[in-house]
Amino acid sequence: DALTYTQKTYKPRVIVDMATLTGAQVVALGGKVVGIMSNDDKVAQQLHDSFQAVGENGWRLPLDEFYDKQLDTPIADMKNIGGNPGTITAGLFLQRFIDDGQKWAHLDIAGPAMNDGEGWRLWAAKSATGSPVRSLVQFAETYK
């Protein structure tokens, strides 16, 4: 797994991964807002601030212990699908691969990653949007 490999090999101060992880992200936040999940309040706030600084939209979702329990099962190490809320339980699944003390955030970009040519993106071509590359550059340049 890339999260485990990165921690063991590079020992980073912070890990930010992103993926079009769940369609539930689109249900929760629509097609314009990236879902931010983090085990660190400061990292989450700096990501949110980075989104705002470059005119992109990101919103933090809670990684609540109540939902994490949905990944437990008596027949395996864990389930890979935890139920509702799907975006949060998917983020919690990823968090289980993060070592204690490792600062981490996941960006679920399922909605904002592609432009379907409808709604708020009528002005843009039907293609990948590049969201949230500008926000990640801003975060990397300003991370403390």
Alpha-carbon distance of 79 to 68, in angstroms, equals 10
Alpha-carbon distance of 48 to 93, in angstroms, equals 22
Cβ neighbours, 10 Å, residue 10: 9
Question: Can you list the positions of beta strands (E) in the chain?
Answer: 14-19, 34-38, 58-60, 103-108
pLDDT of residue 123: 55
Q: Where are the domains of the chain?
A: 2-112+125-142
- Closest Cα partner for 139 from 18, 2, 9, 21? 18
CATH class of this structure's domain 2-112+125-142: alpha beta
pLDDT of residue 140: 98
pLDDT of residue 56: 93
Confidence (pTM)? 0.90
pLDDT of residue 128: 81
Which residue ranges in the chain fall short of pLDDT 70? 117-125
pLDDT of residue 111: 87
The region that residue 104 occupies, defined by phi over 0 for left and psi between -120 and 50 for alpha, beta otherwise, is beta
pLDDT of residue 118: 64
Q: Describe the strand order of the beta sheet including 14-19 as a list of residue ranges.
A: 14-19, 103-108, 34-38, 58-60
pLDDT of residue 131: 87
